[in-house]
Amino acid sequence: MPAETSQTLDRGLRVLGLLAESPGGLTVTELAAGLGVSRTVAYRLVSTLEQHALVRRDGQGRLLVGLGVLHLAAAVQPVLREVAAPVLRSLAEEVGCTAHLTVAEGEEALAVAVVEPSWTDFHVAYRVGSRHPLGQGAAGRAILLGRDRDPERPAYVATVGELQAGARGLAAPVLGLPGLEASVGIVTMEHPDRDARDARDGRDAGAAVVGAAAEMARRLGA
């Protein structure tokens, strides 16, 4: 006999799932269609979730995930750091660069886990809790890349000097985790004497980052 479940709770969780997968928000009509319920039922669900700040409306009245979700997400960060640590450690040691896991929080990218390599004489420090706009820096751009993944485009993003002069960033999106937008990346310093060997190493680092992002997704249940 299947276990008893709450239909209302199930629908409420589905509301959050649908909104999390819709960065541009949904109308009540679109939400009702996605849930397969009437607009009246959708309104009731939205009203309840709004009271708990789990759903909000933008200036055009479109429904978005509310800021209350951030409070719940804060409790998830220690779990993310625990899962991320071995993956980032392996990546940092392989490429000799500081590795990090970054998640989307609103329109910002938030670094939730950072691991520095143990064997290098010099590496870039990157602080847990660092924030920057999603459209600036490799970590944020990789998250945006994951929103609209095109097989014809590169699997990772590389940037130079967008967050700090002389700093190079390289990141890949963590895919297949509904409700969680994240990227795995590395940061190092740009060298003025880069040559063909460095370019080859860059591609190797890109493959390593893409592989680490895939492993992160697997460990998080994708």
The pLDDT score that the predictor gives to residue 111 is 95
Percent of the chain with pLDDT over 90: 68
User: Where residue 198 falls among pLDDT bands split at 50, 70, 90?
Assistant: very low
Fold of 7-66: Arc Repressor Mutant, subunit A (1.10.10)
User: Where residue 124 falls among pLDDT bands split at 50, 70, 90?
Assistant: confident
Nearest-angstrom CA–CA distance, 195 and 51: 58
Nearest-angstrom CA–CA distance, 209 and 75: 26
Q: What is the pLDDT of residues 56-91, one digit of tens each?
A: 999 999 999 998 987 787 778 888 999 999 999 999
The pLDDT score that the predictor gives to residue 149 is 79
**Residue 102 pLDDT more than 70?**
yes
Q: What would the DSSP string read from start to end of the chain?
A: -PPP--HHHHHHHHHHHHHHT-TT-B-HHHHHHHHTS-HHHHHHHHHHHHHTTSEEE-TT--EEE-THHHHHHHHHHHHHHHHHHHHHHHHHHHHTSEEEEEEEETTEEEEEEEE--SS-S------TT-EEETTSSHHHHHHHHHHT--TTS-SSEEEESSSSTTEEEEEEEE-S-TT--EEEEEEEE--TT--HHHHHHHHHHHHHHHHHHHHHHHHTT-
What average pLDDT does the segment 108-117 reach?
Answer: 95
**2: which 2 tokens?**
């299947």
Fold of 69-219: Beta-Lactamase (3.30.450)
What average pLDDT does the segment 196-216 reach?
Answer: 75
The domain locations on the chain are 7-66, 69-219
What average pLDDT does the segment 139-150 reach?
Answer: 92
**Residue 185 pLDDT more than 90?**
yes
User: Where residue 148 falls among pLDDT bands split at 50, 70, 90?
Assistant: confident
* End-to-end Cα separation, the chain, in angstroms: 28
The pLDDT score that the predictor gives to residue 65 is 92
User: Which of the residue ranges 132-136, 176-180, 197-201 would you say has the lowest mean pLDDT?
Assistant: 197-201
**139: which 2 tokens?**
């970590």
Helices 39-51 and 28-35 pack at an angle, to 10 degrees, of: 110
**The pTM of the whole model exceeds 0.75:** no
Residues facing 168 on adjacent strands = 160, 188
The pLDDT score that the predictor gives to residue 172 is 97
The pLDDT score that the predictor gives to residue 191 is 59
User: Which of the residue ranges 29-38, 110-119, 185-194 would you say has the lowest mean pLDDT?
Assistant: 185-194
